[in-house]
Structure 1
Amino acid sequence: MNIFAAFRNTSIYILFSLLPAFCFAQDYPAPHEGDWTAPSFTFHTGETLNNLRLHYVTIGDPTKPAVLILHGTNSTGASMLTPRFAGKLFGPGQPLDATKYFIVLPDGIGIGKSAKPSDGLRARFPQYDYNDLVLSQYRLLTEGLGIKHLRLVLGYSMGGMQTWLWGEQYPDMMDALVPMASQPTEMSARNWMMRRMLVESIQQDPAYDHGNYTVQPPSLRLASTMFAIATSGGTLAYQALAPTRAQADKLVDTMLAAPQTDANDFVYQWASSGDYNAAPGLSRIKAPLLAINSADDERNPPETGTMQASLKQLQHASLLLVPASAETRGHGTLADATTYVQRLGDFMRETAPQ
Structure 2
Amino acid sequence: MFNRMISGVASAILLTVSPLTHAASSLPTPTEADWTAKGFSFNSGEKLKDVRIHYITLGDKNKPAVLLLHGTNQPLSALLAPGFAGELFGPGQALDASKYFIIIPEGIGSGKSSKPSDGLRMAFPHYDYDDMVTAQYRLIKEGLGISHLRLVMGYSMGGMQTWLWGEKYPGMMDALVPMASQPNELSGRNWMLRRMLIESIKGDPAWAEGNYQQQPPTLKTANIMFSIATTGGTLAYQHKAPTRALADKLVDARLAAPVTADANDFIYIWGSSANYNAMPGLNRITAPMLIINSADDERNPVETGILQSELPKIKKAELLLIPASAETSGHGTMMQAKFYNKKLQTFLAETAKP
Shared fold (TM-score greater than 0.5)?
yes
Tell whether the 8 Å contact from 2:53 to 2:114 is kept in structure 1 after alignment.
yes
Instruction: Tell whether the 8 Å contact from 1:26 to 1:87 is kept in structure 2 after alignment.
Output: no
Partner of 1:337: 337
Equivalent position amino acid for 1:318 in 2: E
| Distance (Å, rounded) in 1 between the aligned partners of 2:52 and 2:346 | 36
Alignment-derived partner of residue 275 in structure 1: 275
Amino acid at match of 2:168: Q
> Take 2:226 and 2:236, find their aligned partners in 1: how far apart are those partners?
17
Q: What is the DSSP-based 3-state SS (H/G/I as helix, E as strand, rest coil) of the residue aligned with 1:267?
A: helix
* Count of residues in correspondence between the two structures: 335
Question: Which residue of structure 1 lines up, in the alignment, with residue 327 of structure 2?
Answer: 327
Q: Show structure 1 runs of 5+ residues with no match.
A: 1-19
Q: What residue in structure 2 maps to residue 165 of structure 1?
A: 164
Write the deviation string for residues 106-158 of structure 1: whole angstroms up to 9, x where unpaired: 00000101011111001110000000000000001100000110000000000
Show the counterpart of 1:22.
Answer: 21
RMSD: 1.0
Which amino acid in structure 2 is aligned with residue 306 of structure 1? Answer: I
Normalised to the residue count of structure 1, the TM-score between the two structures is 0.93
Q: Deviations over 1:260-308 (max 9, x none)?
A: 2010111111110000000000000000000000000010011111011
Distance 1:259 1:146, change over 3 A: farther
Separation of aligned partners in 2, 1:63 and 1:268: 36
SS state at 1:123 partner: helix
Residue in 2 aligned with 1:221? 220
What CA distance in whole angstroms lies between the structure 1 residues aligned with 2:104 and 2:32?
A: 9
Residue 76 of structure 1 contacts residue 108 of structure 1 at CA under 8 Å; is this kept in 2? no
* SS of residue paired to 1:217: coil
Shift of 1:257: 2.4
Deviation at 1:233, TM superposition (A): 4.6
Equivalent pair of 2:22/2:85 in contact (CA under 8 Å): no
**Corresponding residue for 1:80?**
79
Q: Which residue of 2 aligns with 1:12?
A: none
Number of the residue aligned with 2:186: 187
Aligned pairs (5 A) from 1:130-279 = 130-260=129-259, 261-279=261-279
1:256 Cα deviation after fit: 1.8
Distance 1:53 1:181 in 2: 27
Task: Supply the AA of the counterpart residue of 1:192.
Answer: W
The CA deviation string for residues 70-95 of structure 1, in whole angstroms up to 9 with x for no partner, is 00000133331100101100011000
Q: Which runs of 5+ in 2 are unaligned?
A: 1-18
Hey, what does 1:300 align to over in structure 2? 300
Question: Are 2:317 and 1:312 aligned?
Answer: no
Matching residue's letter, 2:287: A
- Residue 241 of structure 1 deviates from its aligned partner by 0.5
